[in-house]
Amino acid sequence: MTAEPCETPIPSALTHAVRRWRDHGEPSQPASRWSRGSWLKRFPEHHSFLDALPEHIDRAEATRYAERATTPEGAEGAFLVAMIWGYGSVGYGAWRTARVLAENPHAVDRLAEVALVARDRGGVAAFHDLAARPLRYLGVAFGTKYLRFVTTALAPADAGAPILDAVVRRWLATHAGLRLDIDAWRPAVYEKYVALLGSWSEKLDLTVDTVEQMIFRSAISQEGSALWGEQWASSDESGTPPSPTQLAEAALLELERLFDTADTARAQEARSHLDELARIIPRGWAPETRQPPRDV
């Protein structure tokens, strides 16, 4: 069920991010701030649960809640925490999450089923299962956040489900010349992505999950996945002001992240326009090859 290993060379931006991470003592990704008030307002029936969560949520905290995701009650809690981590302080996160749960009959039962598949057969199988019967309004970007935590909590270490969202997609297009379509649940695309990260993880002596985190760190830093605190695709820490190209890429990333929560048809149309814009930005071309990015 997994794709053949990918021979795409490791981009220099990734090796640089890994080296910088190791030089700094391999720190954990900063925790994500979240807007407690907006979530309490949207989920009054979960007041006690939400009130007990810390002010900042990191990957370890979200993984801890995913340990109970094989039951409907546990899956609901795991899903809420994964979405809180993913949206961070973005104000509409609670509304988007509530829509997924409200618009899908027996949504928490479905989330628990997926967690069972992840536990028994691994992350790629869980992606296939969710693709076969997707939850309306839950796209790949935020769906793989949930899968990441349940596989980390429940599945063997080599059977995880790395996050594939707008940050990762744009980074891969820029630095590896690879464009992945994440506007629908396409298992073949996800398998290709997992195989790519698996190939790089072996060469870097890291887990697949850590490689995804290094890609994320290469793109942005600070405050989890919601705030952009670092120059997009920055190559050093010299304090040099961002170039027009870097600013343009940062703007594209901001827009693309909004499409992670948009309806599929609209997101697909919007991303096609962003891809055209990226092609006229010099660093929107794969820097090592200077070849146009590949659509998948």
Q: How many residues does the chain have?
A: 296
In the predicted structure, residue 3 carries a pLDDT above the cut 70: no
CB 167 within 8 Å of CB 219: yes
> What is the CB-side half-sphere exposure of residue 225 using CA atoms within 13 A?
27
Q: Kindly report the backbone phi and psi dihedral angles of residue 287, in degrees, each rounded to the nearest multiple of 5, phi listed first.
A: -65, -35
pLDDT in tens, 4-61: 555 789 999 999 999 999 999 999 888 989 999 999 999 999 999 999 999 999 999 9
How far apart are the C-alpha atoms of 246 and 116, rounded to whole Å? 42
Q: What is the pLDDT of residue 235?
A: 36
Gap between the Cα atoms of 111 and 247, Å rounded: 38
pLDDT in tens, 63-112: 999 999 999 999 999 999 999 999 988 888 999 999 999 999 999 999 99
Mean pLDDT of 203-208: 96
What's the burial of 262, exposed, middle or buried (CB within 10 Å: 0-12/13-18/19+)? Answer: middle
**Greatest CA separation for the chain:** 53
More confident residue, 153 or 293: 153
What letter represents residue 40's amino acid? Answer: L
Spatial separation of the C-alpha atoms in residues 17 and 214, rounded to whole Å = 6
Q: How much is the average pLDDT of 189-211?
A: 96
CA atoms lying within 13 Å on the CB side of residue 257: 22
Q: What is the pLDDT of residue 253?
A: 63
pLDDT of residue 225: 37
Backbone φ/ψ region at 191: left (φ over 0), alpha (ψ -120 to 50), beta: alpha
Q: Nearest Cα to 14, choosing from 22, 3, 2? A: 22
pTM: 0.78
Q: Which residue has the tokens 């989330």?
A: 111
Question: Residue 237: pLDDT above 50?
Answer: no
* Average pLDDT value for the chain: 82
pLDDT, tens only, 114-152 = 999 999 999 999 999 999 999 999 999 999 999 999 999
The pLDDT value given to residue 238? 42
The set of long-range contacts for 70-73, using a CB threshold of 8 Å and a minimum separation of 24, is 70/112, 70/115, 70/116, 70/119, 70/154, 71/112, 72/108, 72/109, 72/111, 72/112, 73/108
Cβ(134)–Cβ(209) under 8 Å? no
Cα gap 107→135, rounded to integer Å: 7
What is the distance, to the nearest Å, from the Cα of residue 68 to the centroid of all Cα atoms in its chain? 21
pLDDT value at position 182?
87
Contact in structure between 155 and 125 (CB atoms under 8 Å): no
Choose the weakest-confidence range: 158-172, 182-196, 255-269.
255-269
